[in-house]
């Protein structure tokens, strides 16, 4: 048989289910297996259906006389469809079930989908029949309708027009690429095992991606979580960054060299030591790109090369077209993760690279060379330094603040070569607090939420002007008033609201006058903390418990929570502290939730409903004093969250109303 794929039936999920579920699901002797299949198929299985089952990798028979099934259970249509999706990119010809005479005039093996994809990429909008003939010769004519079915339904990387024209999609064709023996049935069977990681990439991550979002969302932190365990090189782009600063160039450097006398001998001091002097010489200096590039190729000397990361912070703060130059071409990667198009290095760089790479022994050189047409030894070209080629273990990741996107706009051609990962603004749950010397503390996430709501809902309405959780650095979880003014207020006044005026209510002082930026400093340039608190109050924020537990001051938005100049309470509220069983020091409003919380700890086997029922027997001390999740959710007069404490009890939440001071 010399067909690409058996013509018995279309390889649909229905056909796969029929074949799989008719076969045994355990290892048997070949004789036993064949007897079972002859009975189930009335002797017809080994006439034609078995050919499709073999080519689909649904089973194989070893030379030792055993049958090995693909599945150990009856499968569903959905399982069959998923199998076909991962089978097609890995299928190659000639395979062990095609006669040795079949496809004798094409490269062996030829990965079916990849070969067709590469042809279509070079010949967009080509005729389907012409493409098949060019890729698979005359043999493909026997069943190109069957092939078309596979491409249409399972390729994901090729599309058909109604006129039968082929084009590629934007999906990266990730396929297995290993050297195969076309007569090895075991290897053919194994290649379709989805549990095996035969792909050439070291990790399942995008090779080139840009993390973008508002400032302070943790983009660099997210990258570092992945790459910290691997070799990595960081650089930051800025308006003066150029090709030489990113890649490398000859630079003058100072070296210490011996001083020679007239006779050409080294001069020595009184102690006999050679006299040295500083001299300026020119040397080729590798910058971050070449350092990462060399490190990645060094790893290719190992059978399992580890990832190497080149991390570019603030990528849009530099002129990417100028900085990348001809390296831009290398960003096109093939399905195995290597650059599609090697570029020629200049003579100076080639000379320097040869010194470093020349002795490298690249383990997968044969597989890498097979990725490129023309029979050239691209690995030798890389080692000689004559050509640059990104290996598949070099990951280039970058960050971009959306608020800075106007500095150097990134053109669409550059954007297409990257995957984009949006980092949204969210509560990092670090418990950061804005702190003041009078003991007041404000929840940082509540502030972030409040100010972002004003930015989003006001005149600005620009997503890229919002603040992320890590916009300001906290020290031991605290953000001081000075840090808040210098980082946050400075940004809000100068970058966010500057062009829209300061008419919003949260910029007004107690007299209704606008607080300009200098309003937050006294005559000596020291931060006026009362003004900063006024700004937070204007955003409807309330203090949380401070180190001195003075937050019982606030139980309503109308309270005057200012202390006098000596820090004494002016609100007239009760700050008495209470002990429970002679332990602790608790404000009045948290007594109830503290007691019930301790009760839950002492009765770990009680459900939330049982605890609530127990405490309700005390009578109606406070309206809705203690409630279950269901009772709380059913209310239409829900209190503000600061008036309710939540207690977790065996996977459910108990709500306890705070007692007013």
**Residue 391 pLDDT class (50, 70, 90 cuts):** very high
* pLDDT of 452 higher than 80: yes
| pLDDT tens string 52-110 | 999 999 999 988 889 999 999 999 998 999 899 889 888 988 888 887 777 777 777 78
258-316 pLDDT, tens digit each: 888 888 888 888 888 998 988 888 888 999 999 999 999 999 999 889 999 999 999 98
Q: Does residue 119 surpass a pLDDT of 50?
A: yes
Whose tokens are 């503290």? That residue is 594
Over range 358-379, report the average pLDDT: 87
Most confident of 117-131, 139-153, 402-416, 452-466: 117-131
Helices marked H in 123-258 — which ranges? Answer: 128-136, 144-154, 185-190, 219-227, 243-246
pLDDT at 547: 38
CB 495 within 8 A of CB 487: no
DSSP 615: H
Neighbours of 264 (CB within 10 A): 6
d(CA 294, CA 382): 10
Q: What is the pTM of this model?
A: 0.53
Q: Residue 566: is its pLDDT beyond 60? A: no
Confidence of residue 125 (pLDDT cuts 50, 70, 90): very high
Count how many residues are written for the chain.
661
* DSSP codes of every residue in 318-364: S-HHHHHGGGGGGG-B-TTSSBSS-EEPPHHHHHHHHHHHTT---TT
- Collapsing DSSP to helix, strand or coil, 621 comes out as coil
Position 565 confidence tier, pLDDT thresholds 50, 70, 90: very low
Of the CA atoms within 13 Å of residue 567, those in its CB half-sphere come to 7
Burial class of residue 649 in the structure, from the number of CB atoms within 10 Å of its CB (0-12 exposed, 13-18 middle, 19+ buried): buried
Contact 320, 410 (CB under 8 A): yes
Alpha-carbon gap, residue 377 to 371, rounded angstroms: 10
Q: Give the end-to-end CA distance of the chain in Å, rounded to a whole number.
A: 90
pLDDT of residue 324: 93
């Amino acid at each position: 048989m010399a067909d690409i794929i058996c013509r018995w039936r279309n390889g649909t999920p229905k056909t796969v289910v029929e074949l799989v579920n008719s076969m045994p699901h355990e290892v048997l002797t070949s004789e036993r297996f064949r007897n079972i299949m002859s009975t189930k198929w009335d002797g017809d299985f080994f006439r034609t259906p078995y050919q499709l089952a073999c080519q689909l990798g649904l089973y194989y028979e070893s030379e030792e006389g055993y049958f090995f099934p693909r599945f150990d259970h009856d499968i569903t249509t959905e399982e069959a469809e998923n199998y076909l999706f991962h089978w097609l990119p890995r299928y190659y010809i000639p395979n062990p079930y095609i006669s040795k005479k079949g496809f004798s005039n094409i490269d062996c093996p030829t990965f079916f989908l990849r070969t067709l994809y590469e042809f279509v990429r070079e010949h967009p909008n080509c005729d389907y029949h012409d493409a098949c003939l060019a890729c698979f010769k005359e043999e493909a004519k026997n069943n190109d309708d069957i092939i078309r079915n596979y491409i249409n339904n399972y390729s994901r990387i090729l599309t058909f027009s109604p006129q039968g024209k082929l084009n590629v999609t934007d999906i990266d064709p990730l396929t297995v690429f290993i050297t195969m023996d076309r007569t090895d049935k075991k290897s053919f069977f194994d290649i379709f095992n989805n549990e095996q990681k035969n792909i050439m990439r070291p990790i399942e991550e995008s090779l080139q991606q840009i993390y973008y979002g508002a400032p302070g969302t943790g983009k660099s932190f997210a990258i570092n979580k992945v790459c910290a365990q691997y070799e990595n090189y960081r650089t930051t782009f800025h308006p003066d960054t150029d090709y030489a600063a990113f890649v490398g160039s000859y630079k003058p450097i100072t070296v210490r060299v011996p001083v020679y006398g007239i006779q050409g001998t080294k001069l020595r001091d009184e102690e006999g030591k050679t006299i040295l002097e500083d001299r300026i010489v020119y040397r080729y200096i590798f910058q971050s790109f070449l350092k990462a590039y060399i490190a990645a190729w060094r790893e290719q000397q190992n059978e399992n090369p580890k990832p190497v990361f080149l991390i570019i912070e603030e990528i849009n703060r530099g002129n990417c077209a100028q900085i990348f130059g001809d390296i831009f071409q290398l960003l096109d990667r093939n399905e195995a993760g290597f650059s599609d198009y090697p570029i020629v290095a200049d003579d100076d760089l080639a000379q320097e690279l040869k010194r470093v790479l020349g002795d490298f022994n690249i383990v997968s050189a044969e597989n890498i060379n097979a990725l490129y047409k023309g029979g050239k030894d691209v690995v030798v070209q890389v080692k000689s330094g004559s050509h640059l080629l990104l290996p598949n273990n070099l990951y280039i990741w970058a960050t971009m603040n959306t608020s800075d996107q106007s500095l150097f706009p990134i053109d669409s051609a550059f954007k297409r070569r990257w995957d984009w990962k949006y980092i949204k603004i969210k509560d990092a749950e670090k418990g950061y607090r804005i702190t003041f010397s009078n003991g007041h503390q404000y929840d940082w996430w509540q502030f972030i939420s409040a100010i972002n709501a004003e930015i989003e809902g006001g005149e600005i309405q620009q997503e890229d002007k919002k603040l992320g959780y890590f916009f300001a650095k906290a020290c031991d979880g605290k953000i001081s008033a000075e840090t808040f003014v210098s980082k946050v207020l400075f940004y809000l006044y100068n970058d966010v609201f500057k062009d829209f005026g300061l008419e919003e209510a949260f910029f007004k002082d107690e007299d209704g006058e606008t607080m300009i930026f200098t309003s937050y400093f006294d005559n000596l340039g020291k931060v006026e903390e009362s003004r900063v608190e006024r700004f937070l109050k204007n955003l409807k924020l309330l203090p949380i418990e401070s180190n001195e537990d003075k937050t019982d001051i606030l139980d309503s938005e109308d309270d005057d929570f200012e202390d006098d100049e000596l820090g004494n309470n002016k609100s007239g509220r009760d700050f008495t502290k209470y002990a429970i069983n002679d332990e602790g020091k608790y404000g009045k409003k948290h007594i109830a939730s503290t007691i019930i919380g301790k009760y839950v700890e002492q009765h770990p086997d009680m459900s939330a409903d049982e605890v609530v029922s127990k405490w309700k027997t005390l009578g109606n001390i406070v309206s809705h004093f203690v409630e279950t999740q269901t009772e709380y959710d059913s209310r239409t007069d829900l209190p503000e969250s600061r008036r309710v404490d939540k207690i977790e009890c065996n996977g459910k939440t108990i709500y306890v109303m705070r007692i007013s001071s």
